[in-house]
Amino acid sequence: MSDRDTESRGGRDSESRSDRDDAARTDRVVAGAALFNEGHHLAARSVWEAALATSSDTGDEDAERLFRGLAAVATATHRAADGDPDGAAERAADAVAALASVSDSRGVGLGPVREWAERLAAAPKKAAAATAPRIRIDDATPAFDDLSLAAAGVAAPALARAGEPGDPDALATAAEFAREERGTGRTEFAELLFAYLRTPDARPQVAARLGDHVDREARKRRDVDGLF
């Protein structure tokens, strides 16, 4: 293989990796928005903070500002609802500063988000009594019913990490298995993953079933590996 072929393949690999990273950030934008719109502000924050860490690693300053601002808005909203006006005002001011200079919003309608952050920063006690705006992305308002499998795989573990029933690691593994199911005719993990998000009253039972299914699938794979 010539040096030119090696360079060409390296360039394609780099572009492919960049595309995957960009798709993952988009999934986190949408998953975080759905969590926020469903009232799970701490879970939304954790998703956007994970995206922030990735953006910091890649040096994408504009994406970094976007995710820092969104995470701060989620934190401020939670603190206002939790009776911490000073904490809400502080984090809302951080959000205002971060979002002010975002040039690429990745489809997020930032106008209402900025206005909400400004209200929380100026009068958190009054704002706490109001309803936080629903975050729009490309003229849609994401909710659990609207998520792609990839975004659902981000949202479900975040929900468990924020205190909802279920093991976050098991849910993350279930999301991996669900992605592997695509094209096989099997939808077991995907269906349970969506059920976990969309049926809050049954969430403990669905989480338990998912955990059992993950354990069984993991054992099956270990048994197969042991044959070779």
Please write the tens of the pLDDT for every residue from 156-201. 999 999 999 999 999 999 999 999 998 888 899 999 999 999 999 9
In this prediction the pTM is 0.89
Please state the separation of Cα 102 from the chain's center in Å: 19
- How far apart (Å, rounded) are the C-alpha atoms in residues 183 and 37? 31
Residues linked to residue 140 through DSSP beta bridges, in sequence order: 137
- CATH number, domain containing residue 62: 1.10.3450.10
User: What pLDDT score was predicted for residue 18?
Assistant: 67
Look-up of token digits 């009253």:
201
**169 and 125, same domain (yes or no):** no
71 and 24 part of one domain = yes
94 part of a folded domain: yes
* Domain limit, last residue, from 97, 125, 140: 140
pLDDT tens-digit map of 94-111 = 999 999 999 999 999 999
H or E element: which one contains 81?
A: helix 61-81
Residue 196 structural domain: 165-225
Looking at the structure, tell me whether residues 118 and 184 fall in a common domain: no
Same domain, 190 and 82: no
Q: Is 152 contained in some domain?
A: no
- Tell me the two tokens of residue 58: 């890649």
Report the number of distinct structural domains present in the chain. Answer: 2
Asked if 124 and 92 touch (Cβ cutoff 8 Å), the reply is yes
Structure tokens at 145: 């019913």
Residue 57 has a pLDDT of 73
Residues 122 and 170 in one domain: no
| Residue indicated by tokens 């928005």 | 33
Question: Which is nearest to 164 in space by CA: 134, 207, 198?
Answer: 207
The dihedral region occupied by 132, where left means phi > 0, alpha psi between -120 and 50, and beta the remainder, is beta
CA 183 to chain centre: 24
